[in-house]
């Protein structure tokens, strides 16, 4: 099958990551979770007592931070590593969620992570989710999706996810965190979350997980087929 880049952007907690993962699996593509990189950077700054508003600290933090993704051979699951440590679960905790959007406003941190994301997607055949994938990381992505869902649905789903990982969190607290991250992510100066003109909007509030995955896979296959037809017409 032809290889394309699929960019999935949208608000916090609307199911981008799990959808992107399933789309990648169906198409035999690689999934890259750009949010996990901002979360790992946040954990690094928190653990090292570095302040994202101090330029010296930002420099120090970036120099001492190495983020990688490795496949767990037992589960086949892709997991996030920070300086050699598996931080996949730790980066999903509320402590990190509370700080990540502040870290993600810092220009130098974004520059570093975007460069890494672009390297990871260079050979195409990738599905990447985040906030600026269709606008900044891969403005030429062949398929761009903008996912939304209402705040109540997103909060409920996120509470379930945290519960499955053993973290019991008040629904109101989750709601406040998602709304606050949406506010910071959409209003920041550096590559804010926007729906680009060529993105297809999918509201997942009333869709099942299977339906939202099927919709995107269908669109991706159309794009791939069209590219094939286009290439054979020009032969």
Footprint of ligand CDP on this chain (CB under 6 A)? 12-13, 17, 34-35, 38-39, 100-101, 104, 130-133, 181, 185
Instruction: Give the C-alpha separation, 209 to 18, whole Å.
Output: 9
- Where does 72-138 show beta strands of DSSP type E? 78-82, 85-86, 126-130
Q: Which is nearer to ligand CDP, 86 or 226 (CB)?
A: 86
Least Cβ distance, residue 15 to ligand CDP (angstroms): 8
Q: Which is nearer to ligand CDP, 39 or 144 (CB)?
A: 39
Asked if 33 and 17 touch (Cβ cutoff 8 Å), the reply is yes
Asked if 153 and 205 touch (Cβ cutoff 8 Å), the reply is yes
Least Cβ distance, residue 160 to ligand CDP (angstroms): 13
Vertex 33, ends 91 and 107: CA angle to 5°?
A: 80
Asked if 44 and 184 touch (Cβ cutoff 8 Å), the reply is no
Q: Which is nearer to ligand CDP, 87 or 133 (CB)?
A: 133
Least Cβ distance, residue 190 to ligand CDP (angstroms): 9
Checking DSSP bridges between strand 67-71 and strand 85-86, what pairing results, if any? Answer: unpaired
Q: Which is nearer to ligand CDP, 6 or 100 (CB)?
A: 100
Q: Which is nearer to ligand CDP, 4 or 106 (CB)?
A: 106
Between helix 94-103 and helix 34-47 the angle, nearest 10°, is 100
The pair of three-digit structure tokens given for residue 184, joined into one six-digit string: 């910071």
Q: Which is nearer to ligand CDP, 153 or 227 (CB)?
A: 153
Rg (CA), the chain: 18
Instruction: Give the C-alpha separation, 23 to 125, whole Å.
Output: 11
Least Cβ distance, residue 181 to ligand CDP (angstroms): 4
Q: Which is nearer to ligand CDP, 2 or 192 (CB)?
A: 192
Least Cβ distance, residue 21 to ligand CDP (angstroms): 12
Instruction: Give the C-alpha separation, 70 to 67, whole Å.
Output: 10
Distance between alpha carbon 14 and the CA centroid of its chain, in Å?
11
The pair of three-digit structure tokens given for residue 76, joined into one six-digit string: 């086949």
Least Cβ distance, residue 25 to ligand CDP (angstroms): 18
Least Cβ distance, residue 210 to ligand CDP (angstroms): 20
């Amino acid at each position: 099958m032809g290889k394309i880049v699929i960019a999935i952007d949208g608000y916090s907690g609307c199911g981008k990551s799990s959808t992107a993962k399933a789309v990648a699996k169906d198409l035999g593509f690689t999934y890259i979770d750009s949010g996990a990189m901002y979360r790992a950077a946040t954990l690094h700054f928190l653990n090292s007592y570095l302040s994202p508003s101090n330029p010296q600290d930002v420099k120090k933090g970036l120099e001492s931070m190495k983020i990688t993704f490795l496949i767990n051979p037992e589960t086949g699951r892709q997991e996030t590593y920070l300086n050699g440590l598996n931080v996949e679960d730790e980066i999903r905790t509320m402590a990190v969620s509370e700080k990540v959007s502040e870290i993600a406003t810092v220009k130098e941190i974004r520059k570093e992570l975007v460069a890494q994301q672009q390297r990871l997607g260079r050979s195409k055949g990738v599905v990447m989710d985040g906030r600026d994938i269709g606008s900044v990381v891969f403005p030429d992505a062949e398929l761009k999706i903008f996912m939304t869902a209402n705040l109540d649905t997103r909060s409920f789903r996120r509470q379930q996810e945290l519960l499955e990982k053993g973290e019991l969190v008040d629904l109101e607290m989750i709601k406040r965190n998602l709304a606050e991250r949406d506010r910071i992510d959409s209003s920041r100066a550096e590559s804010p979350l926007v729906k680009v003109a060529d993105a297809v909007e999918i509201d997942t509030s009333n869709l099942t997980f299977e339906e939202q995955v099927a919709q995107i896979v269908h669109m991706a296959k159309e794009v791939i087929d069209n590219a094939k037809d286009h290439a054979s017409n020009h032969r």
